Amino acid sequence: MAAVSVLDELAGGLVVSCQPLPDDPDDPMRDPYVQARVAAAVVRGGAVAVRANGPADIRAIRAAVEVPVIGLHKHGSAGVFITPTAAHAVEVALAGAEIVAVDATHRPRPDGRSFADTVRALRDRTAALVLADVATVAEGVAAVEAGADAVATTLSGYTATSPRSDGPDLALVDRLAATVPVPVIAEGRYRDAEQIRQAFAAGAHAVVLGNAITSPLWLTRQLVAATGAAS
């Protein structure tokens, strides 16, 4: 796929994140074959791209679908853990992701390199595009200046500089769309059609949903907790 056409394919569409729960190592969905089948199902349902975590899942999903794959590599559970190093980013691209999602917040990275260093490493070794996962407008602007091809609101509410809400950060989508010259991907706590419509109205290029579609474990827990049903 040509670089520009990959982002064009996402325009106005729904991206589905096919990942097991990060905080539950015993999630039965934690299997590359399972995630590939989930990805195939959501693409058949109309997803324009899939977001996937880890080289094994990315390879399996890449073989199962023809839409773009947004790849990342979660390593650790605190601080910068979404594709935290240049080595992780290159590994994700080589596994088959056309777009690599990288934490682009202003927090220190475990390899001591900057986000710009990671972008350069990807440019030197792969043809992958870079999606900057940010929490603030300032981080989005800095990421674009460092070479990001698109920005995502993924980390809003997950850093000390961004307040957490129960729903998605539509205000951040709106401000980023009005500020940066690259596509803005709305991600983080999107769960229903109305929130998706609101994100597009705010200027989102595409919207990402994850657990609300692809995690039976998460959905069941939410319903049990909300209704008081016996578990």
Lowest mean pLDDT among 16-20, 23-27, 153-157, 202-206: 23-27
pLDDT tens for residues 61-110? 999 999 999 999 998 777 898 999 999 999 999 999 999 999 999 999 99
Q: What is the sign, positive or negative, of the torsion defined by CA atoms of 84, 85, 86, 87?
A: negative
The dihedrals phi and psi of 163, each to the nearest 5 degrees, come to -70, 145
pLDDT band at 231 (very low <50, low <70, confident <90, very high): low
Res 129 pLDDT > 90: yes
pLDDT tens for residues 132-177? 999 999 999 999 999 999 999 999 999 988 888 889 999 999 999 9
Tell me the CA end-to-end span of the chain in Å, nearest whole number. Answer: 46
Q: What is the sign, positive or negative, of the torsion defined by CA atoms of 53, 101, 169, 50?
A: negative
Q: What is the DSSP letter of 117?
A: H
The reported pTM is 0.94
Q: Where are the alpha helices (DSSP H) in 50-207?
A: 55-64, 86-94, 115-125, 137-145, 170-179, 193-201
Q: Which of 191, 185, 193 is nearest to 48 (CA)?
A: 185
Rounded Cα distance, 72 and 130, in Å: 10
CATH of 3-227, one of 3.60.10.10, 3.30.230.10, 3.20.20.70, 3.40.50.300: 3.20.20.70
pLDDT of amino acid 22: 82
Res 221 pLDDT > 50: yes
Whether the CB-CB separation of 14 and 187 falls below 8 Å is answered with: no
